[in-house]
Amino acid sequence: MTVAATVPTPQAANPKPHRLPDGRWHRIEIIFWLLPLAAFFLLSGHLVLGSQILIVALFALSLDLILGYAGIVSLGHAAFFGIGAYTAGLLAVHGWGEALSGLLLAGAMAAVAGYLVSFLVVRGEDLARLMVTLGIGLLLYEAANKAAFITGGVDGLSGVTMWRLLGVFPFDLGGKVAYAYSLAVLFLLFVLMRRLVNSPFGLSLRGLREGGKRMPAIGAPVRRHQVLIFTIAAGVAGIAGGLLAQTTQFVGLEVLGFPRSAELLIMLVLGGAGRLYGALIGAALFMVAQEYLSGLNPVYWQFWIGLLLVVVVLFARGGITGAAEALYTRPRGKGK
Amino acid sequence: MLINFAGILFDGIAYGSLLFLIGIGLSVTMGLMNFINLAHGAFAMLGGYVCVAAMTRLGFPFLAALPVAFIVTAVAGVVLERTLYRRLYQASHLEQVLFSIGLTFMAMAAATYYWGPGQQPVQLPGVLRGQVRVLGLDLGAYRLFLIALVIVITLALVWLVAHTRFGAQLRAAVDNQQAAAGMGIHVNRIFSLTFALGSGLAGLGGALGIDVLGLDPTFPVKYMVYFLLVVSVGGAGSIRGTLVAALILGVFDVAGKYYVPEVGAFVIYALMVLLLILFPAGLYGRRA
């Protein structure tokens, strides 16, 4: 602050100047990432739920890329999750149980699908996008349902047998290896995504979200950026799906279902879109709440989640991380 | 074969007119308020349950229960519009989508709570049961009744929009909300009335559809795609577009399920993606 006081620059008047985000990790972020690590040792009885949370968190992150950063509304993101899950699952069923290559292939398949779909998605407005993503999700669901000779249909794909992870660690019933594996994949991809959204490319995505008509004027290739981010997001969703298939050693038809896409949106909004951490927090809270509340009565659970959604939209736009950010910044610089 | 085809066409048209009846309210809300209301199917479901409740608990005959379904749903629509929907007209489409998904979830949970998860039966009056022989074709009496009713309602709607003061105000508000407000039109009141009418028609459609579409708590999600489809293919805010789209979808869906049952709902989703690619703004879209 002493430098700012002696040299009165525009930045000095504004305590939070607009500048390119640096990639530095904040203290809170480091503490945040120590939590799942601590959970591995302290909550070792709940690791199965834990790895589910990590996987869903990764899936939510992928939606955050297109929804929170690029502003593309999707109601069919589960399609890519499902493609990844079936890719990884089928690979293992047919005799290739190596986890990492299966995961990569799951991501690649989903990314290819995402690339093809993205051309339909980027051309429309919100309503058309909603319909196209919804339609493609439903199409895939129907396809997987009808192609029971490949996917197992409503019975699901069972008989997924994985080899030892990295040739050393066998997947155990307690879920220790599954948890560590999921956490490692999540963290690695998170670091990459964090880098991505803080890059000039990430900034121009935010520009698209805020003012789609102005970005072409400064020479940003709008369509190409949207196609690229959609493809990346689809790939990440595919990896999340692959993780689910490998760690649970089962693929159910509901990986492709509309409820999965809708719940994903709910998690993201609950946590706060466009912040990456919102996706993680929202997914964790949603999954924990679902685990304990839907056990009591699934109907009430659906009612409360609906009510929560309405309340968040009406009164708490920005979700949990949005509220936290507002609390954090208010005492310092009055508003923004 | 030909007779068969005529029968399918007839069933498809009956199905399509039902989709039109429910979808028209959604089309108007989207065209007028630019509001993506995924909870529209919940209004249709409410109409269905009101109809069943009026018949089984209050002993109303089917035909008398229909207006009750219309009125109750319209009132529910007005109340929700005044208290909740209104706050979100200026919000982003994402927020509208989330809000209406939330409402849908609540409606589905409430329906399960009050009526249970099963299908609701409906007792049609004797006149509407069985077949009627027209021009050598055996047509379902109820479906004939459905088509006739929808024709009457469509004509009434066209008259309402084209030849009444309310219709003129409505069209003005759809075209340019600010200018309409500047001319002294109570745009808010028009919104409320239109929303009530749209929800009421959805409720009526839900009640009429118990025999065709079925009625259980998953109704809003099961048919949401169809209603959205009718609107986005037809073009939001257009009666003619909604009607054409509803009929096309109805006929294709019935024909697809009859001729190629193994691909099932595939036909309709593929048709939808195709139509949306060819006509991004709908067949009769107002907004380019």
For domain B2-278, give the CATH number: 1.10.3470
Compute the nearest-CA separation of B114 from chain A (Å). Answer: 11
Q: Quote the tokens at residue B149.
A: 């009713």
10 Å CB burial of residue A126 (0-12, 13-18, 19+) is middle
Distance CA B186, CA B177 (A): 10
Name the stretches of chain A with pLDDT < 70: 1-23, 212, 330-336
Dihedral sign from CA coordinates of A162, A165, A167, A169: negative
Distance CA B76, CA B89 (A): 18
Domain regions of chain B by residue span? 2-278
Amino acid letter at A94?
H
- Could you give phi then psi for residue B263, rounded to 5 degrees? -90, -15
What's the pTM? Answer: 0.82
Domain regions of chain A by residue span? 27-257
- Contact of B229 with chain A, judged by CB distance below 8 Å, is answered with yes
Asked if A146 and B112 come within 8 Å (Cβ–Cβ), the reply is no
Give residue A35's pLDDT. Answer: 84
Hey, is A157 helix, strand or coil?
A: strand
- Could you give phi then psi for residue B35, rounded to 5 degrees? -115, 125
Distance CA A222, CA A226 (A): 6
The answer to whether B272 and A135 have CB atoms below 8 angstroms apart is yes
Beta bridge partners of B138: B133
Contacts 24+ apart (CB under 8 A), A199-208: A200/A20, A201/A225, A201/A228, A202/A69, A203/A20, A205/A69, A205/A70, A205/A229, A206/A69, A206/A274, A208/A70, A208/A71
Distance CA A145, CA A257 (A): 11
Distance CA B76, CA B50 (A): 12
- Contact of B132 with chain A, judged by CB distance below 8 Å, is answered with no
- Contact of A293 with chain B, judged by CB distance below 8 Å, is answered with no
Closest-CA residue of B relative to A259 is B221
Place of tokens 């066998």: A170
Number of other residues whose CB lies within 10 A of the CB of residue B141? 16
- Contact of A34 with chain B, judged by CB distance below 8 Å, is answered with no
Q: What is the pLDDT along chain B (288 residues), one digit of tens a residue?
A: 566 778 888 888 999 999 999 988 888 878 777 788 888 999 999 999 999 999 888 888 888 889 999 999 999 999 999 888 888 888 888 888 888 888 998 999 899 888 888 888 777 777 777 777 776 667 788 888 889 999 999 999 889 888 999 888 888 887 788 888 888 888 888 888 989 999 999 999 999 988 888 888 888 888 888 888 888 788 777 788 888 888 988 888 888 888 877 776 777 777 777 777 777 666 665 543
Q: Quote the tokens at residue A222.
A: 């709008």
Compute the nearest-CA separation of B285 from chain A (Å). Answer: 12
Q: Considering only the beta carbons, identify the residue of A73, A303, A312 that sits closest to B109.
A: A303
The answer to whether A64 and A146 have CB atoms below 8 angstroms apart is no
Contacts of B186 (CB under 8 A, 6+ apart): none
Asked if A265 and B98 come within 8 Å (Cβ–Cβ), the reply is yes
Dihedral sign from CA coordinates of B27, B31, B37, B43: negative
Compute the nearest-CA separation of A106 from chain B (Å). Answer: 24
Asked if A128 and B266 come within 8 Å (Cβ–Cβ), the reply is no
CA B215 to chain centre: 14
Hey, is A41 helix, strand or coil?
A: helix
Distance CA A73, CA A78 (A): 13
Place of tokens 């949370």: A53
> What SS3 string covers chain B?
CHHHHHHHHHHHHHHHHHHHHHHHHHHHHHHHHCCCCCCHHHHHHHHHHHHHHHHHCCCCCHHHHHHHHHHHHHHHHHHHHHHCHHHHCCCCHHHHHHHHHHHHHHHHHHHHHHHCCCCCCCCCCHHHCCEEEECCEEEEHHHHHHHHHHHHHHHHHHHHHHHCHHHHHHHHHHHCHHHHHHCCCCHHHHHHHHHHHHHHHHHHHHHHCHHHHCCCCCHHHHHHHHHHHHHHHHCCCCHHHHHHHHHHHHHHHHHHHHHCCCCCCHHHHHHHHHHHHHCCCCCCCCCC
Q: Quote the tokens at residue B77.
A: 């629509």
The answer to whether A229 and A69 have CB atoms below 8 angstroms apart is yes
- Contact of A310 with chain B, judged by CB distance below 8 Å, is answered with yes
- Contact of A56 with chain B, judged by CB distance below 8 Å, is answered with no
- Of the candidates B211, B220, B200, B212, the one whose C-alpha atom is nearest the C-alpha of residue B15 is B212
Within 8 A of A313 by CB-CB distance, chain B residues are 88, 91, 95, 98-99, 102
- Of the candidates B167, B241, B230, B162, the one whose C-alpha atom is nearest the C-alpha of residue B197 is B167
- Contact of B232 with chain A, judged by CB distance below 8 Å, is answered with yes
Asked if A305 and B84 come within 8 Å (Cβ–Cβ), the reply is no
Asked if B36 and A132 come within 8 Å (Cβ–Cβ), the reply is no
Hey, is A251 helix, strand or coil?
A: strand
The answer to whether B18 and B212 have CB atoms below 8 angstroms apart is yes
Dihedral sign from CA coordinates of A123, A127, A132, A137: positive
Look up the ipTM and state it: 0.79
Give residue A21's pLDDT. Answer: 60
- Of the candidates B126, B57, B40, the one whose C-alpha atom is nearest the C-alpha of residue B65 is B57
Hey, is A151 helix, strand or coil?
A: helix
Beta bridge partners of B132: B139
